Chain A
Amino acid sequence: DAKTTQPPSMDCAEGRAANLPCNHSTISGNEYVYWYRQIHSQGPQYIIHGLKNNETNEMASLIITEDRKSSTLILPHATLRDTAVYYCIVRVHSDSNYQLIWGAGTKLIIKP
């Protein structure tokens, strides 16, 4: 079962910041939050991940609340090419490996 909850869809105007929320209220202390995105009919693409601190890279910023029960992915200046399904994922430790537990994601539509 997915450990994250996301809104099914969101719209954002081109050039504006897109803020995608995610709830993960049952996350454990050593479980990371990951974000991937999937453009239609392609393989998912890694965006960013974090544990406790806020993170930023060339694609996005990840803001994690102090209690770690929710996070927000921020695309600072959304373009039409950012239209995709965005997945907020919790990485759990299972046996000798780590697993990404995927939910249904948020379909983000960037409008001109």
Chain B
Amino acid sequence: SQTIHQWPATLVQPVGSPLSLECTVEGTSNPNLYWYRQAAGRGLQLLFYSVGIGQISSEVPQNLSASRPQDRQFILSSKKLLLSDSGFYLCAWTLDRSSYEQYFGPGTRLTVT
């Protein structure tokens, strides 16, 4: 069966510090991968998606970046965090672009102080 992991579960970082969040998927090959951010009491905002290694599409201009160094690994990064980067970050995967169900990881709660 397929499993999606995210770490860390929670993170507190000062403004201006770097960020690296990791997401890995097990039990499937060549998944479509997604990074979302969720502000408190809000719906999910798509940040990045990837259809293959090294292929990243950005949906929202910001100081975040994403990379996919391996087939089942998706990394979200920032060189300098802003207060507005605080939120709940979720990684998700689908089998292909037309799959009707996205499978979500447990999420990382980031607080920028």
Contacts and interface: CB of A to CB of B under 8 A. Distances in A.
Given A99-B46, A103-B43, A43 B104 contact: yes
Interface residues of A, number: 22
B108 to A, nearest CB: 11
Given A41-B107, A42-B107, A100 B46 contact: yes
Interface stretch (A10-18, A19-27, A65-73, A90-98): A90-98
Interface string A72-112: 00000000000000010001000111111011110000000
A99 B97 CA distance: 9
B86 to A, nearest CB: 15
B61 interface: no
Given A44-B90, A103-B43, A104-B42, A96 B51 contact: yes
